[in-house]
Structures are given as C-alpha cells and as structure tokens.
A and B are shown apart, each in its own frame.
Chain A
Amino acid sequence: MKNREVAIIGCGLHPWGRFPEKSQPELAVEAINMALEKANMDWREIEFIAAGSPLWVYDGEGVNNCLSGTAIERQMGNIGVPVVSTANACATGTATLMVACMAVASGEFDVAIAVAADKSAMGFFRPQSRNSRYDPDYQRFVMTGYTNPTYWGVETKRRMEEVGTTEEDLALIKVLVSKAGAKNPYARYKKVFTMEEVLNSPMVCDPLRLYEICSTSDGAGAVIVTSLDKAKKYTDKPVIVEGVTIGTGSFGDQSLPLYMLSAFPRPGVPTLTESRNAIARTYKMAREQYNRRCPEDIDVIELPDNTSWHYLVYLDCILDLKPGEAEEMIRRGDTDPIDGKIPVCPSGGLASCGESVAAQGLYQVKSAVDQLKGEAGESQVKKDVKVALAQTYGYAGNNAACLLSRGW
C-alpha cells in the first residue's frame, strides 16, 4: 500500500462443509476466534470491521446476509467501531480484505479485520427476486434456463475448438487438485480422484462433468491486518499484502459476466477483462512498491477452479500464457499442487472445498498465508515460498486478486 505497508497477523477459518445447525454469524465467530488467537489479540483491539455479505437475501438468512457486518459484530459483542458490509459476489472475501487494508494503509486505523461467512445456496444458483422488469438475473433465468455451468460449458466447448483442450485435460485438473484437498483439514472433500472416476461422472453441461464443476458449501474466514511496523508486536511472521484489489470488466469484453444476456465484443478487447484488470492492478501495486517481477516471482497460486475451464483460463490470465500453454503445463505436471514447478491450489481449491461464495477469497488468502509461513502441514508445497497469489472469479463480473509475501 502506498501510504503505509500493511501486514496480515492472523487468519482463521471455519471448516468448509454443510452446517445447518449454525447461523452464518456463528460460523464467522469461530473464524474470528481463531484469527484473534493467531494474532494474540483481544476482540476489543479491533478498530475497523469489513464484513462480506452473501448474495442469498431470499434463499438465505435475510438480514444476516445484507447486513452481515452488523450481525457478526453483534455476535462478537458490540465495540462501537466502524463496520462496513460489502457484497462482491465470489470476490466478496477479498473485497473485505481490500477494504480492511485500505483502512490501515490510510493511517486512520491500526488494526482491522476482514470477515465473511456464507451458507451458499445449494444446486444451481437462482435469482433472488421475482421482479421481471428490473432484475436481470430473473430475466435471464426464466427466459433461457441459463445456469452458471451452461456458460462455462459454452466457453469450454469453444476453447476445445480453438485451443485443442481435451476431455482428458479437464479430468486431469480435478485429479491434480483433489490430491491436495485430501491433505487439507479445512477442505470438505478428502477423496483423491482417478481419471476414470472423473471421466465416468455424469455430464452436466457438455463438455463439463459433475466432478469438473465445484459444489457450493458453508464456511467462514477472518483475516486481521495491521501496519507492518506494528505487526511484530503480534507475530514473528507477518505476511505483507503487496497488492489487493477488486477487478471489474472493460467495455467491449469478449466474454460474458454471469447473469448478463449479451456481450458486445469490441476488437482488441480480450476475454475475462475483470480478471485481467484485477491481476494487472495487483501486479502494478507490487511492482511499484516492492520491485516485484510479475508473474515470474510468484511461487504458489490459489486460483478459482470453479470448473476445470476456470483453472485453465486463470492460468492464462495470471501467467499471461499463449493459447494452449496452460494445457501443456498441466500435462507436464508443472502445476502439481504440492511438488509442481508452480504449484496451483495446494489448498485443494474449490474442487475440494465447494465454494462458500462470500468467504472463498479469505479461504484462499489463509491458504496462501500458511504456505508463506510454512504452516500448511501436509499441504505444504515442496518449493520455498516467498510470494503467493490468490485470485477469485465471480458472478456478474466481480473479480479479486491478492499478492502476498514474507514480512520477516
């Protein structure tokens, strides 16, 4: 951050899964407790709260969703500090981290917490209103039966034609990522998949099969930040936030932010601009302040493997690859989550967790922090990790990226 350096001093998670017996704020409290313990800190030391709001206003817990921060602060005990609740779809968790970091970087606050809990709707996501005039999500859903995986299926089919991606490539991604999920105590699915199991799983939206599409989950994450100069008071291993941002798309994008019924592709504008804009801004922040060579300096990546297609296109975006290079990398094993040249998703990714939408970014950040500190247990990657990157993909063109490094 330009004004002052910001560091992560404590992270907490509630494990991913299904927890009908707990409310969202309760899940958040468990994540906060763990983060406070890691930071050797009392709740009353928090000066600013940025909370993530899940999308399920109708299907979910109502006010706990739209006013998530209010609900979480109430569960922890009101301490009279500023609370903001933010909704950025799947980029929400990282959005809370961005807001918390900006609060500290400004100098206005010394200690801030980013927190999000989400009990995501099950099955295909559906619109949260019945407003046929003004809700574009309702319009797209009832008029075309366009579920999120249909869009991903359409783009995967196109990629197969243009780049030569194979069904085996798509299955291999699940096989690779599931190896790491089996080692992560916070992941929901611990099974290691074989190629045969993935290729025999039911077709959902051709060419994407059931095990190549992430499920949805409940979960919660919390991350506490302070200025780097104050961080040593709380931990021996502060993790520097070199860059963190939300990304939105550019006019004329070739691809379609989920829920929109049309794109107006303009010459020279690439696909997934919300992703490219997020990653470019994060790299810029890290370059300007830390002379970081991006993407060459990145040692480990947590990317949004919502489907196997996402895994490939995010390798493209993050590493600035030429068409087909991502496929070559996975076939060579370069992205093996534990002993790859550039390990991808050592947390087990969305494939092993299911997506707890608003909280997912914080899950990724916690995983990246653990890798930097060497505290990832059996999921610790083989190579020495000095710089880690986390990126999310989101509904309606919400994206987020975060670049972290050692502060010790």
Chain B
Amino acid sequence: MNTKEKNKVPLIEDMFKWPSDEPRIIASRCKKCGTVSFPKLTFCQNPSCEKKRENIEVIELSNKGKLYSYTVQRYKPPEPFRYEPYKPYGIGMVDFPEGIRIWGMITRMDNLKIGMNVKTTAGKLYEDEENEYLTWMWEPVD
C-alpha cells in the first residue's frame, strides 16, 4: 500500500496563494486608479488609465467576502473540467472588500444564502498518481 502523501498543487499556478494556511486570491491592482482585476492583468482595464506595466501591482485579496449569488451545477460539465469523483457542486460569485466580484466553486451545495459570509479556501478537483490538483473555493462561515 502506498502511504506516501501526495503533493497538493494548484491546477493552474499563480491564481491563489498556495501553499498557505490561509489561501487568498491573487489579483492585480492599478496604482493610479485602484482598479482590481482577476486573474491579474498586465495593464489596467480602466480605459482612462495609461497602459503601462509599471502601474500594476500584484496583491492578495482579503480572505473573506459576501456571497453575491449562487447556483448548483447539477450535470457534469465536459472535459477539460475534472472534478473527481464527480458530484453536483455549488458555485457562485463573491464580493470582496477590494470592490471585485469573483467566481468560484463553493464547498457545499445546501444551505446557501445570498449575502452570507464566506472565506477563501483551497479544495481538491482531482488527483493522479503524484499530485492532488487544487483550486480556490468559497467556504461559508456564517
């Protein structure tokens, strides 16, 4: 029996802070106008801002936000999405204090409510022989 613990790695690097006891979304912010973008952008998305790389800084968002709204994906999406073993999942958008609203899976699909407090966490999508592949998820804390 293989007892070796698998590496827990983000499926795509650099979208949320990992490894971490307190995973946070990695975003970009414009030093001139304060616009926050996720995934992080090279240039500010505000049409009034100059398109200069040096105007952008990388930030970690607060780890708590409020659920804007949610749904449940009842049917299995096609490849390349992998969530194994598959089961329906909650999914929704969260408003962060930095003014940005972000998508993510939710750690449960029942007892969800618009406006509830959630925190950013990491959850497993699937695994292979070497790794467990993670993404960011919203965990209700109310």
Q: Is the beta-carbon distance between A265 and B101 smaller than 8 angstroms?
A: yes
**Residue A81 is within 8 A (CB to CB) of chain B in the complex:** no
A interface footprint on B61-92 (CB within 8 Å = 1, 0 otherwise): 00000001111111101111111000001011
A209 → chain B closest CB, angstroms: 10
Partner of A143, one of B46, B72, B101, B136: B136
Q: Which residue of A lies closest to B133 (CB)?
A: A142
Q: Is A108 an interface residue (CB 8 A)?
A: no
Q: Say whether B80 contacts A251, CB under 8 Å.
A: no
Interchain CA distance A124-B35 in the complex, whole Å: 32
Asked if A373 lies at the interface with its beta carbon under 8 angstroms from chain B, I say no
Contact residues in B for A202 (Cβ distance below 8 Å): 74
Interface pair A139/B15, CB less than 8 Å apart: yes
**A132→B12 contact, CB < 8 A:** yes
B116 in contact (CB, < 8 A): no
Instruction: Determine the distance from Cα of A205 to Cα of B88 in the docked complex, in whole angstroms.
Output: 10
CB under 8 Å from chain A, chain B span 28-68 = 35-39, 45-47, 68
Query: Nearest CB to that of A143 among chain B residues?
Result: B135
User: Which A residues lie within 8 Å of B79 (CB)?
Assistant: 126
A397 to chain B, nearest CB (A): 12
Residue of A136, A263, A265 with highest tally of chain B CB at under 10 A: A263
Bound Cα distance A62, B61 (Å): 40
* Docked pose: A130 CA to B125 CA in angstroms: 17
Most chain B CB within 10 A, of A123, A150, A207, A265, is at: A150
Does A157 belong to the interface (CB within 8 Å)? Answer: yes
Check B91–A146 contact: CB distance below 8 A.
yes
A261/B77 contact (C-beta < 8 A), A153-B71, A157-B71, A158-B114 known:
no
Q: How far is B38's CA from A136's CA once the two chains are assembled, in angstroms?
A: 10
B118 sits at the interface (CB 8 A): no
Task: State in angstroms the CA–CA spacing of A130 and B12 once bound together.
Answer: 12
Tell me the residues in window 111-143 of chain A with beta carbons closer than 8 Å to chain B beta carbons.
Answer: 123-124, 126-127, 130, 132, 136, 138-143
CA A130 to CA B82, docked complex, whole Å: 13
Compute the total of residue contacts between A and B using a CB distance below 8 Å: 118
Q: Mark A203-221, 1 if CB is under 8 A from B, else 0.
A: 1111110000000000000
Task: Tell me which of A145, A157, A262 contacts B70 (CB under 8 A).
Answer: A157
- Asked whether any CB of chain A lies closer than 8 Å to the CB of B19, the reply is no
Q: Considering residues A136, A153, A156, A262, which has the most beta carbons from chain B within 10 angstroms of its beta carbon? A: A262
Contact B99 A161 (CB under 8 A): no
* Chain B residues with CB below 8 A from A262, complex form: 27, 37-39, 100-103
Q: Say yes or no: A145 contacts B91, CB within 8 Å.
A: yes
Q: Shortest Cβ distance from B45 into chain A, in angstroms?
A: 7
Query: B101's closest neighbor in chain A, by CB?
Result: A263
CA of A123 to CA of B11 in the docked complex: distance in angstroms?
24
If the complex has contacts A139-B15, A262-B101, are A124 and B77 also in contact, measured as CB distance less than 8 A?
Answer: yes
State A314–B72 Cα separation when bound (angstroms). 24
The distance in angstroms between the C-alpha atoms of A282 and B9, with both chains bound, is 49
On chain A, the residues within 8 Å of B81 by CB distance are: 126, 141-142, 145
Residues in chain B near residue A141, CB distance under 8 A: 77, 80-81
Query: CB distance A205 to B80 under 8 Å?
Result: no
A23 within 8 A of B: no
B12–A127 touching, CB < 8 Å? no
User: In the complex, what residues of B have CB within 8 A of residue A264's CB?
Assistant: 35-37, 45, 99-101
Q: Which among B12, B35, B73, B136 has the greatest number of chain A C-beta atoms within 10 A?
A: B73
A124 — nearest CB in chain B belongs to which residue?
Answer: B77
Q: Which residues of A from 147 to 205 have beta carbons under 8 Å from B?
A: 147, 149-150, 153-158, 161, 202-205
Q: If A132-B12, A262-B37 touch, does A144 touch B80 (CB 8 Å cutoff)?
A: no
B135 contacts across to A, CB distance below 8 A: 142-144
Alpha-carbon distance A153/B82, docked complex (angstroms)? 21
A142–B39 CB distance below 8 A? no
Q: Given A154-B93, A206-B74, A261-B102, list of 5 further CB < 8 A pairs?
A: A126-B81, A132-B12, A139-B39, A207-B71, A264-B37
Residues of chain A touching chain B, judged by Cβ–Cβ distance below 8 Å, are 123-124, 126-127, 130, 132, 136, 138-147, 149-150, 153-158, 161, 202-208, 251, 256, 261-265
